[in-house]
Amino acid sequence: MDPLDALALASSTFVDVLVQVGDAQMTTATPCDEWNVAALIAHVTMGNEMTIALLDGASKEEAMAFRDREFGGDDAVSSCRVSVSAQMTRMRAVPDWDVLVHHVVGDVPASQLLGFRTGDLTLHAWDLATAIGADQSLPGGLAAVVYADMAPMAPFIGQIGLFGEGPSGSVSDEADVQTRLLDLTGRRS
């Protein structure tokens, strides 16, 4: 799958779940231990906004400052939806995928930032769906792209601090790709 097509599918998958969130669900716990629904939505909005800034030349320090800003507000769902669309528009305008951006993890090519955002939206679509009791199915092709991108990290992904304990070791290589992706990223359904 073309990387921009994967981001477009991840974006629409996330938004399809996002629009189902009701006001009463904003304080509902998510599979991400530290976040309720409102915090997860704010995190995604922050990531989208930071990505746009990085592609526009933000420094690492400017990118890190996004972590201290408030995202969401009174209409968190609408704000997030706008940020998903703006991120997609900005990604489609990238002229050189090899250009380095100054991400908080270090300098990475724009192509890697694209992969980060595709994975973030995909995994958080599942997290959000799980939290609100919506359909947790991810498009198979999208799950396969994100799994292929993240699988090389399997030996150390649990040590990064972003993906729980990492793989459980109990999921077979023959399991469907969504199950393998969720397990790889420390999500136990």
Domain at 62, CATH number? 1.20.120.450
Confidence bin at 56 (pLDDT 50/70/90): very high
For residue range 86-110, list pLDDT tens digits in order. 999 999 999 999 999 999 889 999 9
- The answer to whether residue 131 sits within a structural domain is yes
pLDDT value at position 67?
83
pTM for the full predicted model: 0.93
pLDDT value at position 51?
97
Residue 83: pLDDT over 80: yes
- The answer to whether residue 149 sits within a structural domain is no
- The answer to whether residue 152 sits within a structural domain is no
Q: How many domains does the chain have?
A: 1
- The answer to whether residue 121 sits within a structural domain is yes
- The answer to whether residue 9 sits within a structural domain is yes
Give the span between the Cα atoms of 13 and 7, in whole angstroms: 10
Give the span between the Cα atoms of 27 and 13, in whole angstroms: 22
Residue 125: pLDDT over 80: yes
Q: Exposed (0-12), middle (13-18) or buried (19+): which is 115, by Cβ within 10 Å?
A: buried
- φ, ψ for residue 178 (rounded to 5)? -65, -45
Look up the domain containing 21 and give its range. 3-138
Mean pLDDT score of the chain, rounded to an integer?
93
Confidence bin at 188 (pLDDT 50/70/90): confident
- The answer to whether residue 146 sits within a structural domain is no
Residue 166: pLDDT over 70: yes
- The answer to whether residue 101 sits within a structural domain is yes
Residue 189: pLDDT over 70: no
- The answer to whether residue 187 sits within a structural domain is no
